[in-house]
Amino acid sequence: MLAQRPPMGWNTWNTFGKDINETLIRESADAFIDNGLKDAGYEYLVIDDCWSEYNRDPITDRIVPHHEKFPNGMKVVADYVHSKGLKFGMYSCDGVRTCADYPGSFDHEFLDAQTFAEFGVDYLKYDNCYKPNNADGPSLYRRMAMALRASGREILFSACNWGTDDVWTWIRGAGAHMYRSTGDINDSAESYRNIALSQADKFGYSAPGCYNDIDMLTVGMYGKGLVGSVGCNDADYRSQFALWCMYSAPLMLGCDIRHMNKQTLELVTNRELIAIDQDGECRPPIIRKCVWDENSLIMLKMLENNEYAIAFFNMGEKDKSLPMLFSEFGLPAHSGYGFKVRNLFTGEDEGFYKEYMRIPVQAHDCAVYRAQLVRG
């Protein structure tokens, strides 16, 4: 079964937009290995929009790779990605054109799925622009899912309809393995927070086999690239990454992975945070708002083997001490139990807490712990 854990990888869109080519893909595949991303669990290298010629081939009716960007075709690119032990992803759209105005797969689903299978594609992101007015969104996603299954190749289906048509209610049944639930992220604190807050009560629909995809990470972009916007500081990137992990959301990097600084690399390869994301049960966190700051979130996520993840997100503009009252999460004071915690950013054991924790967190930052429930 595909997607037994939230998919992890990298996607070209956030940083490179239409400026993609074979060299970039080869260098990025190398970076997966050289930077230890593959060892940390990142697997899918995904080429987003703008990879093809502006029109289909007039004779075969197929979508063809752009002759300057990918002069050797896509099979060669896929072979290189596979030679590194990685999986190869591509992009199309349920409308007649893609969002950046290249040919879309509407009414060509089975032919295009065949083309992707012949390229050696393992993952297809499927967007939602330019569909005919009378077309029914869910049925177009069902069609492509069926076409991918008919292609004879195992291809992970990454649906991207931005949360329209109450996507969470039908997308698992439509055969997708992950589904975008929001509009596009940009590299700002406002953007990742809005996305994280808007989906806080929607992760009950996200589980092994099909996950709520809250978009590619902007971690490490620092304002550069296509969705660079204003950029974030390192505290924001810690918070963004930790939020995605607490939600067990897909971890698709969007920065230039060939040139990550030390902070970015350490963050995105933090094994303990990734283990929270990839936990086998993929349960949504229990979320409470801080009593004195509506936007600051306190979370407890149940993990496998009777362990827990605890997280504090300070989404305000001032440093604060954030309280977690265990009774609000199912652990009353009279139970005789408390949590023994390890800080996942420092790796330090920070002792035993009973009844409550109160943790100082700087503005925009977070604190994340792995916890064990013990008597004491």
Cite the active site residues: 127, 184
Taking residue 255's Cβ as centre, other Cβ atoms within 10 Å add up to 25
Residue 55 exposed, middle or buried by CB count within 10 Å (0-12, 13-18, 19+):
exposed
- Total site size for ligand GLA, rule CB under 6 A: 9
By CB under 6 A, residue 252 contacts ligand GLA: no
Taking residue 107's Cβ as centre, other Cβ atoms within 10 Å add up to 13
Question: Whole-number minimum distance, CB 260 to ligand GLA, in Å?
Answer: 21
By CB under 6 A, residue 13 contacts ligand GLA: yes
User: CB under 8 Å to 276, separation ≥6 — which residues?
Assistant: 245, 246, 248, 301, 303, 309, 344, 368, 370
**Closer of 124 and 276 to ligand GLA (Cβ):** 124
Interacting stretch for ligand GLA, rule CB under 6 A, among 81-89, 96-104, 234-242, 298-306? 96-104
Among candidates 210, 208, 216, which has minimal Cα distance to 282? 208
Query: Can you say how many angstroms the Cα of residue 136 is from the centroid of all Cα atoms in its chain?
Result: 26
8 Å CB contact between 225 and 15: yes
| Chosen residue from 46, 99, 274, 276 binding ligand GLA by CB under 6 A | 99
Among candidates 80, 67, 71, 74, which has minimal Cα distance to 92? 74
Interacting stretch for ligand GLA, rule CB under 6 A, among 19-27, 97-105, 266-274, 318-326? 97-105
**Closer of 180 and 364 to ligand GLA (Cβ):** 180
Strands 211-213 and 156-159: unpaired
By CB under 6 A, residue 187 contacts ligand GLA: no
Distance CA 243, CA 366 (A): 9
Interacting stretch for ligand GLA, rule CB under 6 A, among 94-102, 147-155, 257-265, 311-319? 94-102
Interacting stretch for ligand GLA, rule CB under 6 A, among 24-32, 98-106, 148-156, 337-345? 98-106
In this structure, which amino acid lies at residue 311? A
By CB under 6 A, residue 126 contacts ligand GLA: no
* Residue 183, φ and ψ in degrees, nearest 5: -70, 180
Q: Where are the alpha helices (DSSP H) in the chain?
A: 13-16, 22-34, 37-40, 73-83, 109-119, 137-150, 189-198, 234-246, 262-268, 271-277
By CB under 6 A, residue 160 contacts ligand GLA: yes
**Closer of 35 and 191 to ligand GLA (Cβ):** 191
**Closer of 48 and 365 to ligand GLA (Cβ):** 48
Question: Whole-number minimum distance, CB 351 to ligand GLA, in Å?
Answer: 43
**Closer of 183 and 208 to ligand GLA (Cβ):** 183
**Closer of 180 and 370 to ligand GLA (Cβ):** 180
Site string for ligand GLA, 27-66 (x = CB under 6 A): ---------------------xx-----------------
By CB under 6 A, residue 100 contacts ligand GLA: yes
Question: Whole-number minimum distance, CB 243 to ligand GLA, in Å?
Answer: 18
The beta strands (E) that lie in 245-348 are given as 251-253, 286-290, 293-302, 307-313, 320-325, 337-343
By CB under 6 A, residue 127 contacts ligand GLA: yes
Which residues of this chain interact with ligand GLA, rule CB under 6 A?
13, 48-49, 98-100, 127, 160, 184
